[in-house]
Chains A and B, each alone.
Chain A
């Protein structure tokens, strides 16, 4: 049913190839033309089913959970399914990649329908061979069974004939009560290779004749190379070339280490530009000054200003969060080979289309001459949504003419990230005579990092502007400071700081009136039943209100990526040291495909958020980042790991996202527990007991 170009592109001869449409975002249109088919399933004559997916695997379980959606309806043997990451192609739509915890949400219907279509075509082919009605046949375990005779034909033996069957106009999806695979936790498909060192991450790619590169960049943001002296570098064993690129000076050698050695003796004069005086202190002053005056209106309900003026009691607080690095374990890297007639890019990237665009621009080649090969990602967390490192590799490869692998050191990673922006938010709340909030105003000062519309950056205000609590008068305004620090998405985006702000301030309001933090929240969630339900579940499972002696609890709610979470953190303070013992997380993420992966992702998000809450801090002095490695940018270790209990709400709602679900709620849950323990309110991250 698909043309020969498509077959060639996917590397499949013969067998049944079924195309279907995976929307690139929640908002993608439902009406789809056949030329926009962007995902493909192949049933081979050898019985093997191949799912070509325009996604990537960065630990979130895509290759396993998406395969389950297909296999459920295709009725194929779970052991006879494999996945491949195809190259970028216009058919895959404008945004090919993994971001926004979208993979399951955008694949839930299309992949099941694709499986059902392929199954119906295989059944039709079998019915034709047996000269019986289709209704006399059913599919099971990669075979079609003649229910009258008991005869069986394997999918492999039917694949060719099925490829000549017209795809069904519509298919009926299974009643979820009859799911055999969805809702179970088969072993992750990527595990066997990962435990023997066979998985090929971007950094592991090798090709004959390849050279290795590192880049020396200006430590000050927006600075440029003025001049350089590579005479000592060129004398280093193994160094082949030194070339200037737009971001700095590249040292190219016959091994990564030789390139690093060459870089150590490279002398570069930088023009540090206009940002060389930037520091944490100067930024905080800039943010605080902006917060003095009204910003662009992000949200308005009722008349918060009037309600605040006439309030019986007002509470005001300022919250701050620092810049954060992503620090995935696999340092950034990319291999590129630029030829006059084409370019290959091998990368662990979250957005393959963006990687291709950068390579096309730098080489001047048409997009269809740029091939992006997707390799496994050693963590992404948003950092690999950027293509800066791809651009560097392509520039270097263009200069030297042979394949070159660029590797960033950990110093490069921490000092040249697109950071989670720092943020400064002032809340003012009015309480009525019974202590319930009648008005809430928030003024957010945060560098724009998502997209501006009417003066408001959606990423900077999410998590506050979409407040779930019933507060009659509500107002949010926003300032975008020109801080000059590169910023972008960091796991859970604006929620990563704003959930800390809002869930801590709500706790302040509860405490101001001596109300229980769980009760206080529940009373204000009349319009958010799913959030109220996870709150109740987390309270029940954690034994809220009954902590052991010396233990203290805090709660926080998060409503992002289409799923609902409540977290209760249990802490103690021993000899002035904070210890997080246990986190109870209740999650309603709609229909669950793979409960085991949901649990992994909840744990993962909590660890990522807890690392940031307890330790994460990028320090800017003289326009540069002072953290250089894991000694100063420390992260959570196994000995600091709390026990994490995950409780999943059974739900028949459409699936929500999970990858970014639990990161936002852990900082406020811990900070609120700390308040319960000490009476001290944490209003600035990372959490410092002494501050």
Chain B
């Protein structure tokens, strides 16, 4: 066990856990932030995606010790009220069905737009192909990423 410090959704946190413990389980079981999902445990599905210092990371294979001192954003911290352009686009395009993979999809899309503000379909494919959805929301999801890019360009909504 070791005390590990990081900034989570803008607030400093200290956890006393086994350093190898994946960030996913620290978030879910230790801190009770359950918006970040377990899907595969091997970085194969993207459901656990969070941002570490602005980079999309698979929290299921990220030892908590490796994020010491870093800034972590989870789906709960993306916006105070669901108003991030990507979240707004997800509402407008009615992306979610069961919704389980969507926090990971949204976090991946946010990181994509940070790097590529006006992505092509090919840009979306390249990044989003690593996030699995079993409900088949891909068509709506693609539209939502394009819409989010527009909202972002217009400066609408949070961030």
Contact = CB atoms under 8 A, between A and B. Distances in A.
Interface of A: 57-61, 187-188, 190-192, 194-201, 203-204, 206, 212, 237-238, 254-258, 260, 327-331, 376-381, 407, 409-410, 596, 600, 603-608, 611, 629-631, 635-639, 641, 643-644
Contacts of B17: 255
Contacts of A59: 96-99, 135
Contact of B18 (A188, A238, A641): A238
A608 B130 CA distance: 17
A635 B134 contact: yes
Interface in B91-110: 91, 94-103, 106
Interface in B25-52: 25, 28-30, 32-42, 44-45, 47
B122 to A, nearest CB: 8
B13 to A, nearest CB: 16
A377 to B, nearest CB: 6
A58 B91 contact: no
Given A196-B81, A238-B18, 16 more contacts: A194-B102, A200-B34, A204-B34, A257-B21, A329-B39, A330-B100, A376-B98, A378-B101, A379-B134, A410-B40, A596-B94, A630-B40, A637-B129, A638-B128, A639-B126, A643-B139
Interface in B67-119: 74-76, 78-79, 81-82, 87, 90-91, 94-103, 106
Contacts of A254: 29
Nearest to A197: B35
Contacts of A198: 35, 76
B132 A195 contact: no
Contacts of B56: none
A639 B100 CA distance: 20
A629 B42 CA distance: 8
B56 to A, nearest CB: 15
Interface residues of B, number: 62
A639 B133 CA distance: 12
A203 B132 contact: no
Given A195-B106, A196-B35, A329 B133 contact: yes
B75 A191 contact: no
Contacts of B90: 191, 195
B22 interface: yes
A212 B38 CA distance: 14
B147 to A, nearest CB: 13
Nearest to B102: A194
Contacts of A188: 94, 96
Nearest to A610: B136
A194 B96 contact: yes
A134 B47 CA distance: 55
A201 B22 CA distance: 21
